C-alpha cells in the first residue's frame, strides 16, 4: 500500500467550503479509479490553515496511472476553491516486525 499526503494552505474562513467541495469533486473522482482505497482529511491542530489529504492506494503503479487529464479536470471543477499544494509526501506501508 502507498500513502499520498497532500498538504494545502486554506484560509480559515474558506476551510468548510474547501472541504465540502473537495469531498464532492476530488473524493468522488478518486473513488472511481482502480487502486484507490480511501481518503482521510487531517486538520493541523497547531495551524488552522493547514489541511492534509491522506490518500491510500493499493500500489504506486495504480496511483500513478491516475490520468493527468483527469487531475486537470477535477482541479478545474474545484473552481475558486482550488488551493495551492504546500507539501507532497509519499509513504510505502511496511509491515511492522512481528506482525
Calculate mean pLDDT across residues 74-86: 95
According to CATH, the topology of domain 2-83 is Alpha-Beta Plaits (3.30.70)
Helix (H, G, I), strand (E, B) or coil at 1: coil
Which residue in 28, 55, 62 sits closest to 41, CA to CA? 55
Of the candidates 5, 30, 23, the residue with the CA atom closest to the CA atom of residue 87: 5
Q: Give residue-wise pLDDT tens across range 37-79.
A: 999 999 999 999 999 999 999 999 999 999 999 999 999 999 9
Q: Residue 80 in contact with residue 21, Cβ under 8 Å?
A: no
Rounded distance between C-alpha atoms, residue 94 and residue 1, angstroms: 8
Amino acid at each position: 500500500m502507498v500513502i499520498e499526503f497532500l498538504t494545502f494552505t486554506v484560509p480559515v474562513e474558506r476551510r468548510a467550503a474547501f472541504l465540502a467541495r473537495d469531498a464532492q469533486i476530488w473524493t468522488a473522482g478518486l473513488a472511481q479509479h482502480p487502486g484507490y482505497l480511501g481518503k482521510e482529511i487531517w486538520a493541523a491542530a497547531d495551524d488552522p490553515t493547514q489541511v492534509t489529504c491522506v490518500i491510500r492506494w493499493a500500489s504506486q503503479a495504480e496511483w500513478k496511472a491516475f490520468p493527468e487529464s483527469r487531475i486537470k479536470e477535477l482541479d478545474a471543477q474545484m473552481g475558486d476553491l482550488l488551493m495551492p499544494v504546500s507539501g507532497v509526501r509519499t509513504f510505502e506501508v511496511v509491515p511492522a516486525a512481528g506482525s
